Amino acid sequence: MRKNRENKGKSIIAFPSEYVVVDIETTGLYPGYDSIIEIAALKICNDKVVGSFSSLVNEGEVYVDEFITELTGITQEMVNNAPGIETVLPEFCEFVGDSIIIGQNISFDINFLYDCILENTNKYFRNDHVNIARIFRKLYPEETHYSLADIALRCNINYEKAHRAAEDCLITYKALRYLHEEILNKYGEESEFEKLFKKNRNKNSKLKASDIIVEGIEWDEDNPLFQKTCVFTGTLQNMQRKDAMKAVVGIGGYVGDNVTKKTNYLILGDLSYCKSVRDGNSRKYIKAKEYKIKGYDIEVIPESLFYEMIDYRGEENVTEVQNYNYKEELYKMINEVIKETGIPKNSIQFNEQVDNKNKGEYLLQIFEEDWPKNTSLLNPKGVTSPVLIIKEENKGKYQGSIKIIMKKSQFEVVGCPKTVTSMKSGEDSILVHILRTDPILIPYIRKHIIHKLSIYKSKNSFSCCSQFKRCSDERHCVHENLLYSTGCFYRMHLDKDEIFYGKNRNID
């Protein structure tokens, strides 16, 4: 859903004599979930740099994945050793003052800064801002891409050191000077160029992208999706895909069926029912990441951020993103694992902690019921083995996320998805946050369950049961309780295809 940022500065078209160029580096695209890891700014007066500001930032519990490191050169260690956000923000705000902010796709930076400043200082970020991408595409309507790399190329500016905030500020400053000069040469006065931004839209125009046609559209040239190509993957929770595609076309964007080098945004829906999922990711997602690393102008964004970009507010009967019932998918996955592995029905449990200290937390665990089974007991007795601690974050910085706590040794085997919004390491545990609607959430939890089952050994050890001959003939354990039978000495040999009895005997 769109977030209302009260008292936020306006997006304007202006060429002030004094301004501040701003750029930030972040762990992702979503304010409120992802974190700022670097802030830089240049203060300009009469076309000259009169001051600079640059700092790495540590917001706390920040995870810098390999993709961000490869893109920016900023490592986890660099962020861990950086000054805290409570130190950097006041210094940045003092440097910027009430100046007009200049940047490329600056609304992205402004939204992050607004949320961060409000959360940490309880103050509004009111500065008006100018997006040079708007100026660029109006000056060069034949251009179809407006990334900083594209702008730098057209303005003959070296882009080799880009993707660090300070260098991006310098490139933006040089680009604005170049564009300003081109405008004066072509239009004579700034005011003549600014008239091009007066809204004069054709109410009867039509635009076709693939099979999507929207009549009576009013293009929104200020929208970040304007003249951008969007592709969808997975099932959207709040809109039909056809309606989402119409929304893109209706603001002047394009839609595609597959991710190509011309795709600008891949919108992630729920991948639970997607047949082309591999390791929790769709083929489109994998292809988009590959193109991003190669330098193509493409971003992967969650469904909720897409709604904010198109200013979608939803219908009254539409379930909001934060109310997405991930538990339904979790229980479905648990039942599938039980069926696939053949273990007893209640062997994987997901229960809420009942004590006040851990209220709101859930324990995902393996439960081995006492064997032979005592059918007279209403609540069967047995032993448990924890898999994960899971907690829903319903307020604060990680609102809408799922907090997952696991053993460090378990984390080292299962790994970490690239879409985590934060990660924190303890003495013997790892804590990660994943968006509740992230398509990787359920497959990631499933990996932990499968891993724990693969190493599980019952405390009830025994040499073998009466069915050892049948097990030998069928080359696998046929015990009624496959969790209990992990304590069987002979099953350990069967799992290695070492057979001592019957027609398949291969060990003397």
Contact call for residues 256 and 230 (beta carbons, < 8 A) = yes
- SS3 string, 219-260, reads CCCCCCCCCCEEEEECECCCCCHHHHHHHHHHCCCEEECCCC
Which of helix, strand or coil describes residue 140?
A: coil
Q: Residues, the chain, total?
A: 508
Contact call for residues 440 and 402 (beta carbons, < 8 A) = no
Tokens of 111: 């939204």
Catalytic residue among 163, 433, 448, 479: 163
Burial of residue 167 (CB within 10 Å: 0-12, 13-18, 19+) is middle
- In angstroms, the first-to-last Cα distance of the chain is 67
Is residue 163 part of the annotated active site? The answer reads yes
Measured in whole angstroms, the distance separating CA 144 from the mean position of its chain's CA atoms is 26
β-bridge partners, 502: none
Contact call for residues 223 and 247 (beta carbons, < 8 A) = no
- Residue 293 is given by DSSP the state H
Amino acid at 45: C
Q: List, by residue number, the catalytic residues.
A: 163
